[in-house]
Amino acid sequence: PLNSERLLIKGAKIVNDDQSLFADIYMEDGLIKQIGENLIVPGGVKTIDAQGRMVMPGGIDVHTRFQMPDRGMTAADDFYQGTCAALAGGTTMIIDHVVPECGIGLLAAFNQWRDWADSKSCCDYSLHVDITEWHRGIQEDMETLVKDHGVNSFLVYLAYKDVFQLTDSQIYEVFSVIRDLGAVAQVHAENGDIIAEEQHRILDLGITGPEGHVLTHPEEVEAEAVNRSVTVANQTNCPLYITKVMSKSAADVIAQARKKGTVVFGEPITASLGTDGSHYWSKNWAKAAAYVTSPPLSPDPTTPDYLSSLLSCGDLQVTGSAHCTFSTAQRAVGKDDFTLIPEGTNGTEERMSIIWDKCVVTGKMDENQFVAVTSTNAAKIFNLYPRKGRVAVGSDADLVLWDPDITKIISAKSHNLAVEYNIFEGMEVRGAPLVVISQGKIVLEDGTLHTTEGSGRYVARKPYPDYVYKRIKARSRLAELRGVPRGLYDGPVCEVSVTPKAVTPASSAKTSPAKQPTQPVRNLHQSGFSLSGAQIDDNVPRRNTQRIVAPPGGRANITSLG
Amino acid sequence: MYFRTKKNKKTLLDRLLIKGGRIVNDDQSFYADIYMEDGLIKQIGDNLIVPGGVKTIEANGKMVIPGGIDIHTHFQMPYRGTTTVDDFTQGTKAALAGGTTMIVDHVIPDPGCSLVEAFERWREWADDKACCDYSLHVDITHWNDSVKQEVEVLLKEKGVNSYQVYMAYKDLYQMSNSELYEIFTFLGELGGIVQVHAENGEIIAEEQARMLGMGITGPEGHVLSRPEELEAEAVFRAVTIASQTNCPLYVTRVMSKSAADIISQARKKGNVVFGEPITASLGTDGTHYWSKNWAKAASYVTSPPLSPDPTTPDYLNTLLASGDLNVTGSAHCTFSVAQKAIGKDDFTQIPEGVNGVEERMSLIWDKAVVTGKMDENMFVAVTSTNAAKILNLYPRKGRIAIGSDSDLVIWDPDVVRTITAKTHNSAAEYNVFEGMELRGAPTLVVCQGKIILEDGKLQATSGSGRFIPCSPFPDFAYKRVKARKQLAVLRAVPRGMYDGPVSDFTPMSRGGTPSASARTSPTKAPIRNLHQSGFTLAGPEEAPIRPAGRRIVVPPGGRSNITSLS
């Protein structure tokens, strides 16, 4: 009964990422069936008159953390509350992060998240899986998730020392596995080692409030980690996706890497596009704590404008909310020590309107680019396109009737969230959804939400998204390394004492724990494992790199466009 | 022994007059005579009144420049039971032949061994054999409390103000980010210079395994497993940590365009960072790694490797001329073919290092001055003066001025020489600049007031070189650092107590990783405590005791970032 609804939108200005055009849209069974003028539709169909207003693909929030567990607590917005807020803002699909506790395994955690979301989510959803530790079992879980469970993106942490953080060697190995699986490597980019040192120092100085959070996470530390992950991604020929781009310098590193040809995508979030980090110095502890997230909001108040500009020019491509909310009482766990404050900000409901207000109203981008950064690009990167992210025949009937003239004042009093603070409190934004259609059903109309708990479907994603992997594949075909054929060296050879390498007492501790299983890991790469969903990719060489043998006199660096 | 005695009897009585020379310092050039006595410059000017019978050299209007300082050498370096072929005698002779009158060598203590003992061992070797003045950098190859105390001893009592850390050589010399942070913090307080060997050792280790796995075992594997991005990445990280800890940074061996770019960007943002390209990166490239002659290919093996991009030398010379890179060394570290052949079946076993101490001055003259990229004054800056400033030896070294050491070179810009292993002063069979024709060479070299090179003849004396102690807090690096420390006061926001409800939570769920203890730097807690031990510096300056960041409390609505010049 759910999908049997029929719906007609008349007189719409259809806005896709490439063009806008006037037409009617007919939907049935949750799919778009016809687009055009004078459509022949069954009688008695519910009809919405768009009156020339914009109808665009529903937003995709690529980054949410609903119901996220943190030290025995749970994020205040669960999948029901969170997806309601998303729909109220014009977002019809979310991609949540599975954060496995160490030792649990990716698969078990994934199933846990599926349970939670299937029972509560009101819109379609998919799941990223975070790699919070690294050993052979994790690699097997990743293969299973890609093959059997429709996961094509994994996130690694360069921060959270001694909890989630991986070493450079581990990241190299994870990226190699991700590339072989045809998935996208996501990175939480901050240098956790430096942060840990700074936290000690700042606490020693007697700074315990939320301002300590931003003082210990300077933006350089974010930019450094972005730069390092770009380097590892280039080495491993693995597509890279930077979550939560919060600062100018991190965004600059991404923009530079793209100019050099790196396949890298940057995701600013609602918070970094809409507000800044000056509030960490608020005298109201609860308010200051509400802004705590990592990487932190930049204290530089020109940051949101800068990030909006890069989003408009294409240097940054997708937007999420990183919606992860905690109540004041939950935040207060860190009232005497900022390092204990649970991290995360709101933004899933405000995302579309804030981007419209900051980017489209100001003339930085047009309505088509707006669709690209709020929906289409996300669908392309995560292989959901054109089912999601486009108004086209055959696509899912996830649509938004957008009114650019509505003005709203964001406030915790009226938001659809379970928390006491809204970090955009008092902000006046232009542009909002009038009607929201999810799975062919009207879920928002006349300012009223009609959501159904548990109606959201899990959307499986195949590996090797074209938008990402076409270039990667071309590069791996070029990347063949050969040794130089030489006669055997038959001259004298100096005698040496036994290699002193690895005499360091600390060397075993320094070696990554994943190092020993490296051999089996490497062998698995060549085990002839093939992806069930990836029929076209069997010809892709497994081990590949972006470099080729340089002939004397020069080398062609194919990651360099110059 | 002979020389020890002579020294005691003040045998540096040599008196010397250079007439009619054009004195070239880093700031200006002018015509004047120079009178030297006891190894010092005593008078500069026209019509000097000098004692009779002084040996006089007619410069005929040629340039007289401060002797070069090669800030990076590895003479007589032990390597797995063998030693580099150029010892301190051979090495300093080659230096003098090229117009360099002072070298700074690297002490490399075995991990786990005493830094001071290693330092004393290097002192013995060099005192015995060096033919010119020298100083020493000490490499920090492991990190704990006792190393820290030794560094303090070396800095305060032994005359070492620069320390190198390695971001490469995994499981051997490589330091973690946390260790780097602690070392930078520590040296920033004591007034030392942090030098980094910048390459990401973790990725290199992965790439090496991959190359060997593919069957690539020759020298080309060396450069394939160390792409220049890995160098640039490490430079970027080192800059970040130096900026966090407000510590001056010195990047040794800038070998690639992208690493140099990171340094110049960081300098534009206000970071106190110095970059050291070497003779090899300024003069040749990495295409030779693909040579069919194994021995030749192996002779180019050094880390970071020479870039296969043949436009690199020109680019680095341009940045050196523009001031984005500041000093030049040779990283002279030569092995014989038989020694290199240790790695004939596995490029990771090839001992690393190239020649360059003799060729450095001529090569820079040819590539940078002859081409019009820099003038003669800038040439003096990058070959001598800037190094002296960083080492806190200026103006004793690096300048022609009254009171300075009489280490001088008469430079002839018109001499043309062809570099070849047949004639070079190194003991190595290969020269990485083989066949290169260079304009510009020293015609006369004066070291400690004595003529060492004249008419193409070298008259150097083993053991005559003195150790020159370097004191901490060189102005060139630390004036800015000190000013920033004074600005950098962090304050907490005064707030009423939060007295609302507090959620229950499981406190220890974070940090439950099994490997957490292994990942944490073992040296952490004790080091922190030392920072607050009330230790003060012996030097005249009132140095800040606490680690100071470069940031200040941000008032809502904006912050002033003092590392940003805008």
A454 Cβ contact partners less than 8 Å away, ≥ 6 residues apart: A118, A119, A120, A121, A122
Confidence class for position A560, pLDDT limits 50, 70, 90: very low
Least confident residue range of B151-155, B276-280, B305-309, B498-502: B498-502
Q: Does B83 touch chain A (CB under 8 A)?
A: no
- Coil, strand, or helix at residue A523? helix
Token pair 């009158």 is at which residue? B101
In the structure encoding, which two tokens stand for residue A238, read together?
């693995």
Tell me the C-alpha distance between B511 and B255, whole Å: 40
Q: Of all residues in chain B, what percent carry a pLDDT higher than 90?
A: 81
Residue-level pLDDT at B13: 59
The answer to whether the peptide bond before residue A386 is cis (omega within 30 degrees of 0) is yes
pLDDT surpassing 60 at residue B522? no
Least confident residue range of A359-368, B367-376, B481-490: B481-490
pLDDT surpassing 80 at residue B515? no
Average pLDDT on A3-29 reads: 91
CB contact under 8 A, B554 and A281: yes
Tell me the C-alpha distance between B111 and B346, whole Å: 24
If one compares B528 and A421, the residue with the highest pLDDT of the two is A421
pLDDT surpassing 60 at residue A28? yes
Average pLDDT on A62-81 reads: 96
Confidence class for position B507, pLDDT limits 50, 70, 90: low
B270-294 burial code (b ≥16 CB/10 A, e <16): bbbbbbbbbbbbbbbbbbbbbbeeb
Tell me the C-alpha distance between A124 and A387, whole Å: 12
Tell me the C-alpha distance between A268 and B487, whole Å: 32
Task: Reduce the secondary structure of A290-355 to three states and give it as a string.
Answer: HCCCCCCCCCCCCHHHHHHHHHHHCCCCCCECCECCCCHHHHHHHCCCHHHCCCCECCCCCHHHHH
Residue-level pLDDT at A499: 54
Residue-level pLDDT at A487: 83
- Shortest Cα–Cα distance, B206 to chain A (Å): 7
pLDDT surpassing 80 at residue B518? no
Average pLDDT on A363-383 reads: 96
Q: C-alpha distances in angstroms, A149 versus A153, A461, A551, B293?
A: 12, 8, 44, 53
CB contact under 8 A, B111 and A279: no
Residue-level pLDDT at A477: 82
- Residues in A closer than 8 angstroms to B530, CB to CB, are none
ipTM score assigned to the predicted complex: 0.77
What digits encode the pLDDT tens for the residues B88-122? 999 999 999 999 999 999 999 999 899 999 999 99
Mutate to test the interface with B, among A199, A202, A510, A558 (most CBs of B within 10 A): A510
Confidence class for position B290, pLDDT limits 50, 70, 90: very high
Residue-level pLDDT at A4: 56
Residue-level pLDDT at A498: 63
Residue-level pLDDT at A372: 97
Rounded to the nearest 5 degrees, what angle is found at the Cα of B86, between the Cα atoms of B82 and B87?
80
If one compares B496 and A535, the residue with the highest pLDDT of the two is B496
Query: How buried is residue B349: exposed, middle or buried, by Cβ count under 10 Å (0-12/13-18/19+)?
Result: middle
CB contact under 8 A, B342 and A73: no
Q: Which amino acid is at B155?
A: L
How many CB atoms are located within 10 Å of the residue B54 CB? 14
Residue-level pLDDT at B397: 97
CB contact under 8 A, A550 and B290: yes
Residue-level pLDDT at A278: 95
Least confident residue range of A536-550, B72-86, B114-128: A536-550
What digits encode the pLDDT tens for the residues A219-239? 999 999 999 999 999 999 999
What digits encode the pLDDT tens for the residues A452-489? 999 999 999 999 999 999 999 988 887 777 888 888 88
Q: Does B261 touch chain A (CB under 8 A)?
A: no
Nearest to A525 by CA among A235, A174, A232: A174
What digits encode the pLDDT tens for the residues A176-206? 999 999 999 999 999 999 999 999 999 999 9
Token pair 């690639």 is at which residue? B256
Average pLDDT on B502-522 reads: 51
Least confident residue range of A432-446, A493-507, B355-369, B457-471: A493-507
CB contact under 8 A, A332 and B501: yes
Tell me the C-alpha distance between A183 and B243, whole Å: 35
Look at chain A and count its residues: 562
The two beta strands, A31-36 and A441-445, are: unpaired
Q: Which of A172, A510, A518 sits opposite B203 (nearest CB)?
A: A172
Nearest to A351 by CA among A408, A421, A426, A270: A270
Tell me the C-alpha distance between B95 and B69, whole Å: 9
CB contact under 8 A, A494 and B553: no
